[in-house]
Amino acid sequence: MGSEQSGTSDFLSTLVRLMGLAMLVIGLFVGIKVIFTAWDLYEQPQQIERFADAIEHGSNLDSLLASLTPKLTNNRSSAPTTIDTNEQNVTTSEEQHKPLRVTYFLAWFIAILLLMVIGGLASRAIKTGGELALYDLQVKRFANLLMKEVRKANND
Per-residue pLDDT, averaged over 86-93, amounts to 52
Residue 85, pLDDT score: 53
Lowest mean pLDDT across 72-81, 82-91, 130-139: 72-81
* 18 compared with 85, residue with greater pLDDT: 18
**Pairing outcome for strands 89-92 and 81-84:** antiparallel
In this predicted structure, the answer to whether residue 93 has a pLDDT above a threshold of 70 is no
Are 72 and 97 in contact, with CB atoms under 8 Å apart? yes
Residue 75, pLDDT score: 43
Measured CA to CA, the distance from residue 142 to residue 147 in angstroms comes to: 9
* 85 compared with 46, residue with greater pLDDT: 46
In this predicted structure, the answer to whether residue 148 has a pLDDT above a threshold of 90 is no
pTM strictly above 0.75: no
Domain limits, the chain: 2-155
